Structure 1
Amino acid sequence: MAKQSRTNIRDSILEASTVLFSKKGYSGVSMRDVAQHLGCTPAALYYHFKDKDQLYLGVIQHVCHGVSASLKRAKDSHGEPWDQLSAVLTELIRTLSANESFWRLLQQILMDENEERMRQLGNSVFHDIFSIFYDLASKIGPHLDPHQLTISMMSLCLFPFQSANAASFLPGFDPTNLQPDKLSSHVLNFISLGINDDATNTLSLKNRKPK
């Protein structure tokens, strides 16, 4: 590590820590674990990160910044909301499919019960990714709660990967359903049907005359 530039060393630390945190979560990883994985001393880590909290936040920022940038490019490459959503869903699912550490890290984060860490992550890390979906949710389902719809859309992308091991032992499992293009098409159709059906039901209730 001594021959690397400071930026390269920092990136190496973040990449190694991503793998560890994605497998063991925040509480299962120590600075000593990271140092051992990298083949350096804990003191070398503390030169770049003052404590484990800063390293953990840095890891998630490092991972999510790249994802949010790719999702924004996908969104900006199309003009209509549904086309934008299709592109964003496809990009996110491709990322989840290609980067196991990313979705495992998300899974570990969702199980984190530390409110202060979640506040920091919500304000400084997940905000950009969530906002991309939130903006699209507001446009394609204006009659729905955009926050709830955003959570639902992101869950539809993430859960198939989180549940793949268990699902492989359940009836009807087809591994090809996890292929990015096939899964993104399914998710988009599911969202479309749900939104249109909900709009129809909402309109029906509004037009229903009291007895």
Structure 2
Amino acid sequence: MPPATDKVIRRLSKEDILEKTAPLFAAGGYAATSMRDLAKACGITPAALYHHFTDKDQLYLDVLEYTFRRRIGRMGEALKGLTKFEDKVRRVVEVLVDAIHDDELFLPMLRRELLEQDEKRLEYLATRVFAEPFREIMRVGRDLPPGNYRPSFLATSALALTIGHYTLEPVRRYLMPSDTPDDLRQAIIDHVTDVALHGLRKDPK
């Protein structure tokens, strides 16, 4: 590969680099992915990456934020104008499903971070990426009678229900191959919404 030139470096924006390097991190993780691998994916030299990022740690954190925020970071915007509780619940589920469905980055990177348990990266994800959509989901729960449910558990349940379906789908389709819907995305949206509304409307025991 020819050496990177100033022209190439200028042409590649920070977002371009994040877009090109995210699949490598998703496939191999932080430790197994070298700056040389990342630079090759971008068509530049490793030294050229430092034009945008101080080190691999910073690049990886920016990739995490870029990958997750662009998919679930606009939860509040998606809920604007909705007044009915049922509509808000469905929209929350739609945003979460669309962040995962047919996406090769979101779920692999989330699984990897949860397994590796790196406290610095988990805190970064929580405060820089998930905090805003998490708060918006908790606000939806305010339409319920006060004191019946813990808002943070409601938000966690919404995430867990949706992510859990996609996490277990590769196994479920072998357990019940005849019960695989033609439109998996819509089936999960409908199911999770119905389960959420039915469960939330019941008086807790």
Q: Which residue of 1 aligns with 2:127?
A: 123
What is the RMSD computed on CA atoms of the aligned residues? 2.3
**Counterpart residue identity of residue 162, structure 2:** C
Q: Which residue of 2 aligns with 1:77?
A: 81
What is the percentage of aligned positions where both structures have the same residue? 28
In the aligned structure 1, how far is the partner of 2:41 from the partner of 2:172? 32
Q: Which residue of 2 aligns with 1:159?
A: 164
1:35 aligns with 2:35: no
Q: Which residue of 1 aligns with 2:190?
A: 185
The structure with more helix, counted as a fraction of residues: 1
1:90-113 C-alpha deviation (Å, 9 max, x unpaired): 122123113221222222222231
In the aligned structure 2, how far is the partner of 1:65 from the partner of 1:83? 23
Q: 1:140/1:21 Cα in 2 relative to 1: closer, same or farther (>3 Å)? A: farther
In the aligned structure 1, how far is the partner of 2:129 from the partner of 2:198? 31
Unpaired runs of at least 5, structure 2: none
In the TM superposition, residue 179 of structure 1 has moved relative to its aligned partner by: 2.2
Matched positions, count: 200
1:67 aligns with 2:34: no
Q: Which residue of 2 aligns with 1:195?
A: 200
1:105-128 C-alpha deviation (Å, 9 max, x unpaired): 222222231112212221122211
Query: What SS does structure 1 have at the residue aligned with 2:44?
Result: coil
In the TM superposition, residue 170 of structure 1 has moved relative to its aligned partner by: 1.3
Unpaired runs of at least 5, structure 1: 203-211
Q: 1:194/1:9 Cα in 2 relative to 1: closer, same or farther (>3 Å)? A: same
Structure 1 length normalisation: TM-score?
Answer: 0.83
In the TM superposition, residue 15 of structure 1 has moved relative to its aligned partner by: 0.9
Structure 2 length normalisation: TM-score?
Answer: 0.85
- Aligned match of 1:174 in 176, 179, 192? 179
Asked if the contact 1:97–1:180 (Cα under 8 Å) also holds between the matched residues in 2, the reply is: yes
